[in-house]
Structure formats: C-alpha cells, structure tokens
Amino acid sequence: MKKKIIILGSTGSIGTNTLKIIQKYKNNFEVLVLSAYKNIDKLLKQAKKFSCKNVIIPNNNISVFTKKKFENSGIKIYDSFESIRLINKKKKIYYAMVAISGIYGLKPSLILSNYTKNLAIVNKESLVSGWNLIKKNIKKNKVNFVPIDSEHYSIFTLLRNHSINEIERIYITASGGPFINYNKKDYNKITIKKALRHPNWKMGKKISIDSSTMMNKVFEVIEAKNIFNIPYNKISILTHPKSYIHAIIKFKNGLIKIAAHNPDMKIPIFNSIFNNQNSIKNPKSINLDKLNNLNLKNINIKQFPLVSILNDMPNKNSLYETALIIINDFFVDQFLKKKINYLQLINSIKKISNLEEFKRLKKKPANNINKIFKLMNYVSLKINSLGIYK
C-alpha cells in the first residue's frame, strides 16, 4: 500500500523539491493533499501530475475563475486547512510537510499534527512564535516531528543518541548572504536587486532579504532554542560563505561533531521522508576543496547589527517573538516596495523591536493561538501609527 503524503505550500521551492523526490519514488507514495495561495496554475499542474484529488486554497483566494480552471479535473477544492479532517477520515497519514511561508503557517502546523505520523516543518514563523503549541500537540498525538531547515535538521541528526546535558555548545552557520564582505557604511548603496542575489541558495524574495540582513539567523537561533531546549548562551552563529557545514556541536566530553552537505534542500527533505532508511539518487562526492577551506568565523555584530537582538531574548517562549516577526515582515515589505532603503530597513527593525511596549511582551507566554493572531494585528496597526522610522 502506498504511503499518503500531504504538502502544504507545494508551489514554493521546498514544496517543489519535495515533489521532485516523490516523483522519483512515485510507486511508494500517494499525494493526498496539495495547497497553494497564489500560484494556482502551478498547483493545478502539480495535482494533475501526481493524481492528487484534493487541493486547499485559502477561501479569500478562491475566485470564479479559479473554480473554472479546476472544472472537469476530478480535483476537489477546499477553502480551509480544517478540511483535512474531511479528506482523511481513516488512520493517520505517513508524512506531512508544512512549507507555507509566514506566520499563517502556524495554524496548519497545529492542524496537521492531529492527522500525521511524521510532521516536517520548514515554516520558521510557526516554530518561532508558536513552538509551545506545536510541542504540546505533537507530544499529545505522538507525532514524529522533523525540522527541515538545513541547520536544524543537521542538529537533529547530530543529537541522535545524545542527551541535551552532554552539549557544551551548538554552532549554526550562516553564509553571510550577498553582503558578507560589505562594510556597513556602504549599506546605503544596496539595491533590492543586490539584496536578492544570494550566492548559494535559490529562495523567495522575503527569505532572501532576511538572509542578507541576517534576521533569518536570529529566527533560526530562536528555533534551535525552542526545538532542542538549548539556552541561548549555548548557541553561536558562525559565518561560512560556502554553506557546506550546517551545524557543529561541541560536547562536554571533548568530541566535536560536524554536519556537512551540499547547499541543496532536497537532502534534509529526502532524509525526513525516508528516515535515513534509503539512499538518495545520484549523490555528489565529498567536496574536499570546500572541506579544506571552511573559512568559519564568529559573526561580526557591527556588520550585521540585527543579530544583537538575541542578546536580550526571553528564555521561555513569549509573545515578543510574534511581535518580532511582524516588525520584520513589515519593514522587509517596505523595502521591497522601495519605500525605505536598506540601511533604514535594518535601523527600523532594531529601533521598533526595542520599544518598551513590545519589550514588555517578553514576560507574556505564547500559550494561545488566538493571542498570537490578535497580537499580530495589534503590532501591524501600531507600526503603521508610528510611521516609517529612519
């Protein structure tokens, strides 16, 4: 019997790579549900190619035109993620991937934890803002949770057969993005085109900007703290322009373990699906040139000032993390719309996230999804009322 798969956010890079893997092993799997928000044409093509009979498109994006595209296709359109309970009425499915971008990935992550044996999440925002809720659900439903970001999947694999108490320090790496060799005084000259030009990874616009400012690493450190229950003072960031090493763990017994692989997200996705029980097709040889020239360095805070936000993060999951996500989203959007320049982007995130009104949220636990979504709206309104900070 084929194993059932659900992929939410199937038209993005992670979803597309997941389907490429499924295609190579199509006799093993049945794609039960796919979802997309905007790229409806690609979603339809994917559903037809994989004989997927169910797609989810958020209600506010289902138009008469969309319905017409799916006419006579034999594919059912659902308008909410809660519909998964209607689609899958029998036993739990084998594997579900949440590759939706943005904080709205939290709700489907929680929903899927009720219906799957293996839950893979690449959605940073849900793991940053709502880890307490996800953790509670996966524990209750005995779900095998797998983080998909290359850094977190590497930590996940390195920690097999080890307890948290054995760890002295965890290092996650950062390529440094397109501005690893820039001086901050040159940030005023940075254009959108330059900021989107990541040297190693092909990503969407939002995550590419976050990578250039190093805000993605801020979120990844928060993720690592949440997922692995490691205090912030035991997590460090190292710049590594070649993106070959993804995580390093130094143990108290003196051993150091390193996880390396080519900058290809299909590797953690593949291993999360097969649980290390299969061999990836056409693997590349070890790149000795990269291993011999790792060029690992401590991160330069003056060059990437947003990393200093981590210096005063609360040890327990709080509502501040949600505010931080919304603040970052707002100003990245302003930058992409050419309403602020690159230096203003960085300064605005730093200044607004340091407002006393938001800092007070560090004492409020993120233990309710309604509180998280209510705060999202409040923070957006508050930033708009303040105007664009320079």
Distance CA 90, CA 331 (A): 44
In a domain, 83, yes or no: yes
130: which residues sit within 8 A by CB, 6+ positions away? Answer: 106, 109, 110, 366, 369, 372
Last residue of a domain, one of 245, 279, 312: 312
Per-residue model confidence (pLDDT) at position 390: 47
CB under 8 A, 24+ apart: contacts of 327-335? 327/352, 327/353, 327/358, 327/379, 327/383, 328/210, 328/215, 329/102, 329/103, 329/206, 330/380, 330/383, 332/206, 332/209, 332/210, 334/388, 335/192, 335/195, 335/209
Rg (CA), the chain: 21
Between the alpha carbon of residue 370 and those of residues 36, 40, 107, 130, 374, the distances in Å are 23, 29, 10, 11, 6
- DSSP secondary structure code for residue 232 in this structure: G
pTM for the model: 0.92
The strand pairing partners of 5, in sequence order, are 31, 95
In a domain, 378, yes or no: yes
Q: What is the dihedral of CA 130, 109, 270, 211, to 10 degrees?
A: -50
Is residue 28 located within the same domain as residue 139? yes
The number of angstroms, rounded, from the C-alpha of 349 to the middle of its chain's C-alpha atoms is 19
Sign of the torsion formed by the C-alpha atoms of 105, 3, 273 and 163:
positive
Per-residue model confidence (pLDDT) at position 178: 84
Residue 355 exposed, middle or buried by CB count within 10 Å (0-12, 13-18, 19+): middle
Q: What is the pLDDT of residues 330-379, one digit of tens each?
A: 999 999 999 999 999 999 999 999 999 999 999 999 999 999 999 999 99
pLDDT band for position 69 (cuts 50, 70, 90) = confident
Per-residue model confidence (pLDDT) at position 197: 81
Between the alpha carbon of residue 111 and those of residues 82, 167, 185, 269, the distances in Å are 7, 33, 46, 21
Q: Please check the confidence at residue 150 and state whether its pLDDT lies above 70.
A: yes
Sign of the torsion formed by the C-alpha atoms of 111, 131, 384 and 356:
positive
Report which of 362, 383, 331 is spatially closest to residue 213, judged by C-alpha positions.
331
Distance CA 106, CA 121 (A): 10
In a domain, 280, yes or no: no
In a domain, 98, yes or no: yes
Highest-confidence range of 134-138, 286-290, 380-384, by mean pLDDT? Answer: 134-138
Is residue 92 located within the same domain as residue 153? no
* Domain CATH for 347: 1.10.1740
According to DSSP, the β-strands at 76-78 and 235-239 are unpaired
In a domain, 277, yes or no: no
Take residue 203 and report the two structure tokens written for it: 């990503």
Q: What is the pLDDT of residues 214-243, one digit of tens each?
A: 999 999 999 999 999 999 999 999 999 988
Is residue 103 located within the same domain as residue 190? no
Q: How many domains does the chain fold into?
A: 3
Query: What single letter denotes the amino acid at residue 141?
Result: N
Is residue 19 located within the same domain as residue 160? no
In a domain, 290, yes or no: no
pLDDT (average), residues 87-107:
90
Per-residue model confidence (pLDDT) at position 341: 93
Determine the structural domain holding residue 301 and report its residue range.
Answer: 149-263+295-312
Take residue 174 and report the two structure tokens written for it: 């950062």
